[in-house]
Amino acid sequence: MIFLSSHPPHVPSGEAFSLEKVSKDYGSLHALSEVTFSVRQGEAVGYLGPNGAGKTTTLKLLSGLTRPTSGTLRLDGVEPTKDRRRALSSVGVLVETPGVLPYVRGRDLLEHIAEVKGVPLNERGAAVLHATKTLDVAEPSERLLGSLSTGLLRRVLLAGALIGDPKVLVLDEPTMGLDPAARNDLRNILRGLKKEGRTIFLSTHLLEDVEEVCERVLFLRAGRLMGEAPVSPDGQAPSSVGPRTLLVRTSDTTARERVGRAAGPEVGIEESEPGTEFLLTFRGDERRQSELLRALIAGGVPVSRAQPVGSDLSSLYMQKVGREEAT
């Protein structure tokens, strides 16, 4: 059975954290390039992108594991590079699957985390118990970490992230390695934490995680933020009420100007493949879509393919990030 926290909900207000033109280089590799976004308090935001997009780098920056090469990162208004202790005091982190010392009990680790997070000695036991009960690992946490399964270990580590009542949870693939039932349990837990008013920043490959937990999603590719989209409150898909997107492919690499002229000023144009593939965003129904296509052809654009792009998360992911990585 899952015990959800009985903490009174926070009153969301202001910004939980923000990145402003944050770049991170590893030698000649540009892991992040001038990434700018912010997350409001109480918001649950998904962070999607293929392997090597820079998701984990972003999370490492947010959890103080690495420093930005340039740009400004603020946690609760505080820059971790300037006051690490204060900045990280409001954050609970689960980045990657950290290795653990196999000869240490889960409870030992959680009590150490509680001590470092400043939980008073007389409240430490209760804080650990509360976190382990929330994640349904009160009993497994008494065992040696080396004896736990991947799923149980992730839950024990997630319990560690919850200790100290953090306002922000930064989670990297929290459901990775879990069986479907455990994954479902964890999503329920995350939804419960969201309802308590905690900010959740969730990096994942699993679109279902985002659909079920988050209200907004950010797309990252090759270290650059490719855009964002809302996720509808019912947790099923991004809002379908809004602009339509039409993918237009042309064999003429010089057609960019003609596309713009033919489509008109009210149509948003984004090059998904430089010169040959365009995403046209417009408001209207299918008739408007046909009119737009006719206008393009009449305007001298050699359309070789035209395809409406769906507004569900999977389609959005493929549109923003790339088809091969969608799961």
Comparison of 164 and 238: residue with beta carbon closer to another protein: 164
Give yes or no for a contact between 1 and 136, defined as CB atoms under 8 angstroms apart.
Answer: yes
Query: At closest approach, how far in Å is the CB of 156 from another protein?
Result: 11
| Buried b / exposed e along 264-300 (16+ C-beta atoms within 10 A) | eeebeeeebeeebebbbbbeeeeeebeebbebbeebe
Q: Does the protein bind another protein through residue 29 (CB under 8 A)?
A: no
Comparison of 104 and 297: residue with beta carbon closer to another protein: 104
- Parallel/antiparallel/unpaired status of strands 244-250 and 199-204: unpaired
Judged by CB under 8 A, which stretch of 58-66, 230-238, 268-276, 298-306 contacts another protein?
58-66
- What SS3 class is residue 74? strand
**147 Cβ neighbours under 8 A, 6+ residues apart:** 102
Rounded Cα distance, 175 and 250, in Å: 41
Judged by CB under 8 A, which stretch of 113-121, 126-134, 201-209, 213-221 contacts another protein?
113-121
Judged by CB under 8 A, which stretch of 56-64, 135-143, 214-222, 261-269 contacts another protein?
56-64
Q: Give the residue, chosen from 117, 133, 224, 256, that forms a contact with another protein under the rule CB under 8 A.
A: 117
Binding to another protein (CB under 8 A): which residues in 266-295?
none
Rounded Cα distance, 41 and 264, in Å: 39
Residue 2's identity, in one-letter code, is I
Cα-to-chain-centroid distance, residue 215:
10
Per-residue binder mask for another protein (CB under 8 A), 83-112, x = binder: -xxxxxx-x-x-xx-xxxx-xxx--xx--x
Comparison of 115 and 142: residue with beta carbon closer to another protein: 115
Query: At closest approach, how far in Å is the CB of 89 from another protein?
Result: 4
Query: At closest approach, how far in Å is the CB of 79 from another protein?
Result: 14
Comparison of 64 and 238: residue with beta carbon closer to another protein: 64
Which single residue is written with the structure tokens 């003609």?
Answer: 258
**2 Cβ neighbours under 8 A, 6+ residues apart:** 134, 136, 185, 188, 189
Binding to another protein (CB under 8 A): which residues in 181-210?
none
Q: Does the protein bind another protein through residue 176 (CB under 8 A)?
A: no
**Which tokens hold the place of 161?**
């992230």
Q: Does the protein bind another protein through residue 126 (CB under 8 A)?
A: no
Applying CB under 8 A, the residues found at the interface with another protein are 26, 60, 63-66, 84-89, 91, 93, 95-96, 98-101, 103-105, 108-109, 112-113, 115-118, 157, 160
